[in-house]
Amino acid sequence: MQAKNATVQVGKEENCLAPYEMLLGGLGACFYSTFVDIADKMRLSFDRAQIALSGVRREEAPRHLVRVTLVFTVFGAEQSKGFLRAVDLAEKYCSIRYTVAQVADIQVVTVFSI
């Protein structure tokens, strides 16, 4: 698959991404970008953020996602109402999260690491 700024190999072979890995990657990128935009507007300061995603699919066809866990770790900041609000707003305004939430339960876990 060729995008505007990169090429990604899709498939089951080594060094390729599977379709659901790409979907979860898109969800993570959208959530991260939305969070950063909101945190900037709220003037929240942090060193970096990291997202870990996992998903569970139905066993029967169609094998769509039924559950997604998104662990969002903020480094270089203490837990505060501002950061928790920014995460809540990222959940609300991330369009890919909204789309995936139509078929799957999405749990967001927020972790702070100083």
How many CA atoms lie less than 13 Å away from 93 in the CB half-sphere?
14
pLDDT score at 38: 98
CA distance 22 to 48: 22
pLDDT score at 89: 98
Model's pTM, two decimal places?
Answer: 0.90
Residue 109: pLDDT band (50, 70, 90) is very high
pLDDT score at 48: 96
Q: What is the pLDDT of residues 23-52, one digit of tens each?
A: 999 999 999 999 999 999 999 999 999 999
CA distance 5 to 101: 28
Q: What is the pLDDT of residues 49-102, one digit of tens each?
A: 999 999 999 999 999 999 999 999 999 999 899 999 999 999 999 999 999 999
pLDDT score at 1: 84
Which residue ranges form the domains of the chain, and what is each CATH number? 19-113 (3.30.300.20)
pLDDT score at 57: 95
Residue 3: pLDDT band (50, 70, 90) is confident
